[in-house]
Chains A and B, each alone.
Chain A
Amino acid sequence: MSNSLKKRKAKDIIAAVFARSFLIFIIFLALLIIFGLFLKARPILSIVSLPELLFSSSWHPMKNEFGLFPFIIGTIEVTLLAMIIALPICMLTSIYLSEYAKRRFREISRFFIDILAGIPSVVYGLCGILVVVPFVEFTGELIGIQTTGYSLLAGGIVLAVMVIPFIVSISMEVLRMVPEPYRESALALGATRWETVKYVILKKARSGLIAATVLGFARAFGETMAVLMVVGNVAQVPKSVFDAAYPLPALIANNYGEVMSIPLYDAALMSAALILMLIVTIFSLTAHYALLKLGKTI
């Protein structure tokens, strides 16, 4: 083997080791986050049991009572509300852009949707305060409900607007993955566009659309700032959509500054972060396998 060749080989191997080690770092990082949060959260279980932590409604850190139930419920409700508002709009929009719109219009629309997706969450929050909160207050007055406007509903609306571009952009990609011959053969049979969508496209793309929805759900679940700014932040189980709620991410964000003064407060907040992380991980895994399945069926 010539000298220059040996040198090239050596360089190649060094480069490979170097590049791979960065990937190892990433995997290590993921484990470290989960493990670190777990270590920090564990002390909380010495004073409350796991069911108590998850299902008790009494949140009095000064008295060592750490029931996360109102926050968990708050997170689930605000996320569900957002998805109920967002999903029909997302599906209809992405079907229109993928199946009806001309290429040019689709590309221009995608550009605007990407911009909407890139808007920082504090800006969404700000617009929520300026527009959505007064709107909810006004609506509440109309139907005779006392509300400040800072409520589950306001959080749901803001969150819905935030996840719409995210879900639309994935769904559109999924729908475009359905090969053209499927459309042609349905249309050739005399089906209308909508029938083609309903009987062929949606069936073919189903697992992909589920993945898009799940990813949107995960994104909404962990969203902090925008929701925090409009949802009211009262530690209670909300009775109607006009009541204030207090989701987990908001709990962490609002209280982290003062954790040092109260014993075990940080462990309680870390367990909240761990819960968020685990749930979002489960969603990510679900979406991952749904997309794998999509790849196989198409």
Chain B
Amino acid sequence: MKKRKLEENIFKGLMIVSLLLVFAALAGIILVVAVKGLSSLNLSMIIETPKGGYYLGKEGGIANAIVGSLYLMAGATISAFIISLPAALALQKEYLSRRFADFTRLILDILWGTPSIVYGAFGFVIMVFLGMRASLLGGIVVLTLLIIPIMIRAMDEAIRLVPFELKEMAYALGTTRAETTLAVVLKQSLPGIFTAVILAFGRGIGDAASILFTAGYTDEIPTSLLDPVASLPLAVFFQIGTPVPEVQARAYAAALILLFIVMLINIIARLLGWRFAKNIVR
């Protein structure tokens, strides 16, 4: 009996240590980024573009990267949403045989697991094929492809949570598939769909490997879809390595803003999900 108690306590202790380690990692990351970032963050950092080149310039901020990331993600989120929503709705069993739906989900899982550097390389191949240069458009296309599987799978999960009896209810009134989907399924799964979009946005905005060759990097704010564009993750990546402290500071500030956006998104996804839940049947 004593030995059993001991074993129980040892493992429980190990578990608590593990949990604390995980929390410590999170706290540590936030702390490091906050301390480094806050000391380099000021107004001109946010509203000015770099002066004199991003590797060397001592003046200016990261407005180019902030605006660039927002441009990229606005484009990618909207286009991914347009593709993902119908696709996720088509995964309902009214539209596909179970076999084909399962197969599609498997493909989506594979795409979801595909490293972003592979998307980047693939995107680059396509762009070379089309004679395009690294640009806002290229970045948007690759980021769209990157977040589509995330969005569809998350939407699919939300849609599958709609109770079958509820759909049966609508069909019993004589509705078509499209009518049931619009009036019942979409409404019922709205919070989940919203969360899917937000999470995909959060995943996309932090990704660097996919846009490394497809979006490029520049000190300017792009004025057309074919201009290259800066982004927050690449601002961190390119500027951390320089020996110039002022440039490094820009990396820290970019990291802080990025971290802030991603955390904000996680919180919004959870809190706002509830506000949409007014008409939801549970």
Task: Classify A-B as touching or not with yes or no (CB < 8 A).
Answer: yes
Residues in chain A within 8 A of chain B (CB atoms): 8-9, 11-12, 15-16, 18-20, 22-23, 25-27, 29-30, 33, 36-37, 40, 88-90, 92-93, 95-97, 100, 109, 111-116, 118-127, 129-131, 161, 164-165, 168, 192-195, 215, 218-219, 221-225, 229, 249, 252-253, 256-257, 269-270, 273, 276-277, 280-281, 283-285, 287-288
User: Chain A contacts of B124 at CB under 8 A?
Assistant: 256
20 A-B pairs within 8 Å (CB atoms) are namely A12-B177, A20-B90, A22-B90, A26-B148, A33-B118, A36-B122, A89-B21, A92-B11, A93-B15, A93-B22, A112-B23, A119-B259, A120-B258, A120-B262, A123-B255, A165-B22, A192-B5, A193-B8, A222-B114, A253-B209
Which of these, B107, B148, B202, contacts A118 with CB under 8 Å? B202
Taking the complex as formed, is B143 at the interface, i.e. its CB lies under 8 A from any CB of chain A? Answer: no
**B16-31 residues at the A interface, CB under 8 angstroms:** 16-19, 21-23, 25-26, 28-29
User: Chain A contacts of B108 at CB under 8 A?
Assistant: 26
B15, B17, B104, B178 — most chain A CB neighbours (10 Å): B15
User: Chain A contacts of B15 at CB under 8 A?
Assistant: 92-93, 95-96, 100
A15, A112, A122, A287 — most chain B CB neighbours (10 Å): A122
User: Chain B contacts of A25 at CB under 8 A?
Assistant: 83, 87
Give A92's nearest chain B residue, CB to CB: B18
Q: A19-B86, A127-B29, A277-B118 are in contact. Are A121 and B8 (CB under 8 A)?
A: no
Q: A16-B178, A126-B240 are in contact. Are A26 and B152 (CB under 8 A)?
A: yes
How many angstroms between the C-alpha atoms of A125 and B239 in the bound complex? Answer: 12
Establish whether residues B176 and A12, one from each chain, have CB atoms under 8 Å apart when the complex forms: yes
Taking the complex as formed, is B265 at the interface, i.e. its CB lies under 8 A from any CB of chain A? Answer: yes
How many angstroms between the C-alpha atoms of A227 and B270 in the bound complex? Answer: 30
Taking the complex as formed, is B163 at the interface, i.e. its CB lies under 8 A from any CB of chain A? Answer: no
Establish whether residues B145 and A23, one from each chain, have CB atoms under 8 Å apart when the complex forms: no
Q: How far is the CB of A127 from chain B (nearest CB, A)?
A: 5
Give B263's nearest chain A residue, CB to CB: A115
How many angstroms between the C-alpha atoms of A92 and B13 in the bound complex? Answer: 10
Taking the complex as formed, is B116 at the interface, i.e. its CB lies under 8 A from any CB of chain A? Answer: yes
On chain B, which size bracket covers the interface?
A: 35 or more
Give B102's nearest chain A residue, CB to CB: A292
Establish whether residues B113 and A256, one from each chain, have CB atoms under 8 Å apart when the complex forms: no
Establish whether residues B236 and A123, one from each chain, have CB atoms under 8 Å apart when the complex forms: yes
A-B contact count (CB 8 A): 253
Residues in chain B within 8 A of chain A (CB atoms): 4-5, 7-8, 11-12, 14-19, 21-23, 25-26, 28-29, 32-33, 36, 83-84, 86-87, 89-91, 95-96, 104, 106-122, 124-126, 145, 148-149, 152, 176-179, 181, 199, 202-203, 205-209, 212-213, 233-234, 236-237, 240, 251-252, 255, 258-259, 262-263, 265-266, 270
User: Chain A contacts of B11 at CB under 8 A?
Assistant: 92, 194
Give A157's nearest chain B residue, CB to CB: B25
User: Chain B contacts of A127 at CB under 8 A?
Assistant: 28-29, 32-33
B18, B177, B199 — most chain A CB neighbours (10 Å): B18
Q: How far is the CB of A226 from chain B (nearest CB, A)?
A: 9
Which of these, B109, B209, B262, contacts A288 with CB under 8 Å? B109
Given A127-B32, A194-B7, A285-B110, 12 more A-B residue pairs with CB atoms under 8 Å apart are A8-B176, A23-B90, A26-B108, A29-B148, A119-B206, A126-B236, A131-B32, A194-B12, A222-B113, A224-B208, A249-B117, A273-B122
Give B112's nearest chain A residue, CB to CB: A284
Which of these, A20, A224, A269, contacts B95 with CB under 8 Å? A20
Establish whether residues A30 and B111, one from each chain, have CB atoms under 8 Å apart when the complex forms: yes
Give B25's nearest chain A residue, CB to CB: A161
Give B235's nearest chain A residue, CB to CB: A122
Establish whether residues A116 and B233, one from each chain, have CB atoms under 8 Å apart when the complex forms: no
Establish whether residues A19 and B89, one from each chain, have CB atoms under 8 Å apart when the complex forms: yes
How many angstroms between the C-alpha atoms of A216 and B23 in the bound complex? Answer: 19
Establish whether residues B240 and A29, one from each chain, have CB atoms under 8 Å apart when the complex forms: no
Establish whether residues A26 and B22, one from each chain, have CB atoms under 8 Å apart when the complex forms: no
Establish whether residues A112 and B86, one from each chain, have CB atoms under 8 Å apart when the complex forms: no
User: Chain A contacts of B111 at CB under 8 A?
Assistant: 26, 29-30, 33
How many angstroms between the C-alpha atoms of A194 and B258 in the bound complex? Answer: 40
User: Chain A contacts of B89 at CB under 8 A?
Assistant: 19
